[in-house]
Chain A
Amino acid sequence: MREYEKADRIEGPLVFFEGYGDAAYGELVEVHFDGGVRLGQILLTGERLAVVELWGDSAGLKPSDLRVRFLGEPMRLGVSTEMLGRIFDGLGRPKDGLPPPLAEARMDVHGAPLNPSVRAYPQDLIQTGISAIDGMNTLVRGQKLPIFSGSGLPHNELAAQIALQARIAGEGESFAVIFAALGVSHDTATFFQERFAASGLLSRTALFLNLADDAPMERLVTPRIALTLAEFLAFERNFHVLVLLTDMTNYAEALRELSTRRGEVPGRKGYPGYLYTDLASMYERCGRVQERAGSLTQIPVLTMPGDDITHPVPDLSGYITEGQIVLSRELNRAGVYPPVDVLPSLSRLMKDGIGGDRTRSDHPAVAAQLYASYARVQEVRALAVIIGETALSETDRAYLDFGQRFERELISQQVDEFRSVDETLDLAWQVLSRLPAGELTRLSEDEVKRFYLGRLDHGGRYG
């Protein structure tokens, strides 16, 4: 075992050992001090320099008291199926008072890139029972679909509802949830634990908790640990795994802190230029693999500072993930749950997950029509503010009516309500039937004939 005494400097989470020349890049280290030990990894290594990124608090540490042990390999996680039903801290150590589970394998927590040519393109729908998702932004096995939210919005409720209701596994297949808390409050962690417990999901769940009062630097490891277990279960043990990561904004802030300490050139809003690559190294650990039954689906949750979707964290996430579910403060205020703002929301994998043999043949066109019509609602609402509702044309008034019902009847539902895709689509037709049939041009004439309900007096409008 290689060891070295005395650090030269401590700068925030960075510890400098000048004079030591045998550290390996990325190697895991233990930093011992009087009364404790912290883990960390080598961030830079040279002929006479080793810089350690310390996971954990560095306050009160004295350079001269430190002793570093080099563990000879990057951080590995002992993984096993037994980890389901257990609670761990942010570095993967048991937090539930039970002994560590017996490892079936030890895996590098940084993972390795999946070879693009072994991936199977995800196209199996996961029913969540939530109309805004199943109807308009369907989730698919192996997809990464984040929730973009704002502080105070019910993203936790929605994430929990998805996890509880998701019909992700078929008969005879196994399903697992992996939950990683990144700098969230005890209340939030408890909320998830209780929801999982109440529905009997806890035995299929592994929780990794880095809470608000835990060390921020540890947060940089927590999601990687969670994903390491997820990859093992999905690709080695054929589980359908759903990973919830909340809150990625806290993760990014920890990375920014580390970057600032290193004196790196800051990018937008002080985040490092490699934030994209760093986020991708986690979000891309997701998907399906040819000839293996399991799948890894990710639902990262992030709060947009200032509700700004162009903020680097949501922006770069959106550039990596396969769509996003955007929550709206306005809808939330209006009492709509889930307050999903469908226009900026998107599921890129929806197109292959729905339609004739998967959901219903009218599904793609119905979704397209809902989007187009709801976009028109926004214009009409803006106009109504200026000229007054009464001055609107009959068609425009129909749009207002449609918009109301769309939000109240289709998007809104109970936190424990499961709607089948059929129910969602039928509801969508009811709402769409508030518009003149002549407006429904994203739907084929056949579809309109089959599904449009009543109000044909308006339908004849354009002949």
Chain B
Amino acid sequence: MKPIGTIIEVNGPVVEARIREGVGLLEQVWVGEMRLAGEVIALKHDEATLQVYEETSGLRAGEPLFGSGELLSLTLGPGLIGSVFDGVQRRLEVIKTEQGIYIQRGATTEALPERGWRFSPSVEPGCHLHSGALLGVVSETPLIEHRILVPPSISGTLIDLVEEGEYQLNDRIALVRAEDGQEHVLGLTHRWPVRQERPHSGRLEPGPPLVTGQRILDTFFPLSKGGTAALPGPFGAGKTVLQHALVKWSNAEVIVYVGCGERGNEMANVLEELPELTDPWSGRPLMERTILVANTSNMPVAAREASIYTGITLAEYYRDQGYHVALMADSTSRWAEALREIAGRLEEMPAEEGYPAYLPSRLAAFYERAGRVRTLAGEEGAITIIGAVSPPGGDFTEPVTQHTQRFTRAFWALDRSLAGARHYPAINWQTSYSFYSEVVAPWWQQETQNDWLALRAEAASILEQDARLQQLVRLVGAEALPDRQRWVLEVARLLKEGFLQQNALHLIDAYCVPERQVYLLKLFVRLFELGRELLEAGIPLLRVRQALDLPRLLRLKEAVSNEQSAEIGTLQLELEARFKALEPTGEEG
């Protein structure tokens, strides 16, 4: 490697260098004798500003700078699934064997494990291949058939393609001659710059729901495949637990989990749990569909900024293969703060709360990379993004929450007081919303053979009446209210504790299939109606309550498993009969 310049100033992760040879904006560079990984973030005359992805202590003016000739890029190919990367695609497993328990500087690891893959071609030499077309497949995990595609920047006639067999990552797989006569050798992998969105051939409307198995989300604030959701909440409110639940239970085909500036122990938790848990949809270990990107809060701050882009680029790569990918980013606030920190060192003019003026456009561009698309290969693929937001002081009016809310279409607001009372998930059902309810409704109607929209509307209305009544209750107590209103409170409690609350750690209830969700909801809504009719007919509340047997219903969700869902239907018949028996005519007869 030949130096292209000299360091002239070191200010934490921000380094200034004088450039002798051409270097491009956003080019990946190696900084100093230690060859620390970095990126060019500003260029002015012969001076370049670099952000460095590793701790810079020991670096001094006069040390050399080396260029790489390419933008900060990832290596994309088989072997990504099941990996744990740092923010710039270094494999933490490899760093562990090479460096021991701490992450030292200057680590270089191959992005993908070196091993052979069995490749089966899908096309014949002689055919014309457009960019993104399918060349062949590799079985990456029992869950993921890895589709080897022509890189997006290349198209032409297929001159040569290997036969089925085992190949190393660097082996030549195909030769493509472009229109201009240039020949491209293709292998099982290619490189792609993280900050550049991968192309597709058009956007599609958001699709069927991303089923999460979390009742409050699926039923009240659903997310559609290809959609975006913001998950803001103060510390300890349950953002990470909820995202982990989605990693485990949601019906995405590939999961990319970006731990951005959060806890090491949380990554350890995922790493210990995922290989042992099986996907409810396929019965396979969850690690076989998951990629982890970990930049914990004590890892270098500039790599935190990059980790988000690393994550979304990995997601796009699998989307392009026709998969539905869900990306969890925990937490996007740490990414925004990394931007702020770098901007501060550059002495850029701060806008709101010290964040640079380009914060909203960066957030918008990130969420814009979600969506359901027609891939270049003509398949359907999608990326769903769920971004956790950690507002200072839990105040949702701060810039990151505000702008994220603008660019996402589902808003799952976590609430400190619900979390304090251990009402989990602590999603506030009054301030949360989703624009996808109508979009996913046909799927639910079809899947569960119920008038899903009407059912949830009725449940929502009970919760809304309850919210209004609670204000009265706080002033006069529940006892002072008329029976009809107390009945609303009673059933609302059932909905809140028996439906909305869901313990992510519970053996039976951690995950709730759509069928069980609808059974429970139908039961509670039906009992509400029957009870109301009885009260109208003059039956005293006490007797209706007795028939209801609240403690039993509150425990129902944790007593009846997904497989036993239909038992809830049986119970409903039983309770309906009990309610009917209270009817005045019944009593006389």
Contact = CB atoms under 8 A, between A and B. Distances in A.
A376 B475 CA distance: 15
A45 B84 contact: no
Given A24-B59, A110-B57, A393-B477, A44 B9 contact: yes
A45 B9 contact: yes
A398 B538 CA distance: 30
Contacts of B55: 110, 112
A274 B92 CA distance: 25
Nearest to B421: A375
Given A115-B103, A463-B549, A386 B475 contact: yes
B60 A24 contact: yes
B57 A27 contact: yes
Interface in B487-543: 497, 503, 505
Contacts of A315: 234-235, 392-394
A371 interface: yes
B61 A45 contact: yes
A270 to B, nearest CB: 11
A117 B265 contact: no
Interface in A313-331: 315-316, 318-320, 322-324
A9 interface: no
B477 A322 contact: no
B288 to A, nearest CB: 18
B56 A26 contact: yes
B265 A121 contact: yes
Contacts of A25: 10-12, 56-60
Nearest to B16: A46
Contact of A310 (B344, B350, B394, B551): B394
Given A117-B92, A382-B474, A287 B549 contact: no
Interface in B411-430: 416, 419-423
B25 interface: no
Given A45-B61, A276-B297, A287-B264, A264 B92 contact: no
A287 B269 CA distance: 12
Contact of A46 (B10, B93, B268, B296): B10
Contacts of B102: 111-115
B588 interface: no
Interface in A250-267: 264-267
B420 A344 contact: yes
A117 B297 contact: no
Contacts of B95: 115
Nearest to B497: A441
Contact of B354 (A49, A235, A265): A265
A116 B340 CA distance: 25
Interface string B248-263: 0000000000010101
A120 interface: yes
Contact of A265 (B350, B390, B419): B350
A201 B55 CA distance: 37
Interface stretch (A96-104, A209-217, A278-286, A418-426): A278-286
A444 B507 CA distance: 13
Interface string A184-216: 000000000000000000000000000000000
A348 B236 contact: yes
A281 B59 CA distance: 20
B267 interface: yes
Contacts of A265: 344, 350, 354
Contacts of B100: 118
Contacts of A44: 9-11
A351 interface: yes
B555 A441 contact: yes
Contact of A284 (B60, B93, B263, B337): B263
Contacts of A372: 421-423
A113 B299 contact: yes
A118 B395 CA distance: 35
Interface in A205-264: 235, 264
B20 interface: no
Contact of A462 (B337, B353, B420, B551): B551
A268 interface: yes
B11 A274 contact: no
A355 to B, nearest CB: 10
Interface in A281-304: 281, 284-285, 287, 289, 292
B448 interface: no
A22 interface: yes
B1 interface: no
Interface residues of A, number: 84
Contact of B297 (A24, A284, A386): A284
B431 interface: no
A120 B272 CA distance: 8
Contacts of B61: 21-22, 45-47
B298 A322 contact: no
Contacts of A19: none
A23 interface: yes
B476 interface: yes
A274 B341 contact: yes
A142 B263 CA distance: 12
Nearest to B554: A441
Nearest to A266: B354
Interface in A36-67: 44-47, 49
A25 B63 CA distance: 12
B341 A371 contact: no
B421 A117 contact: no
Contacts of A371: 421-422
B420 A117 contact: no
Given A45-B61, A348-B236, A343 B421 contact: yes
Contacts of B554: 441
A159 interface: no
A265 B350 CA distance: 8
Nearest to B12: A25
Contacts of B280: none
A95 interface: no
A318 B234 CA distance: 9
B315 to A, nearest CB: 20
B341 A116 contact: no
A351 B236 contact: no
B58 A115 contact: no
B494 to A, nearest CB: 10
B58 A273 contact: no
Contact of B267 (A45, A119, A323, A463): A119
B454 interface: no
B474 A116 contact: no
Nearest to B95: A115
A268 B298 contact: no
B180 interface: no
A287 B297 CA distance: 14
Nearest to A23: B60
Nearest to A108: B57
Contacts of A396: 477
Contacts of A160: none
Contacts of B478: 393
A122 B267 CA distance: 12
Interface in A364-405: 364, 368, 371-372, 375-376, 379, 382-383, 386-387, 391-393, 396
6 contacts: A110-B57, A118-B101, A119-B268, A274-B344, A315-B394, A387-B477
Given A265-B344, A281-B297, 6 more contacts: A49-B9, A113-B264, A114-B103, A284-B263, A441-B555, A444-B558
The 4 closest A-B pairs by CB, nearest first: A26-B57, A310-B393, A375-B421, A280-B297
Interface of B: 8-12, 16, 55-62, 84, 92-93, 95-96, 99-104, 234-236, 259, 261, 263-265, 267-269, 271-272, 294, 296-299, 301, 334, 337, 340-341, 344, 350, 353-354, 390, 392-395, 416, 419-423, 473-480, 497, 503, 505, 545-546, 548-551, 554-555, 558
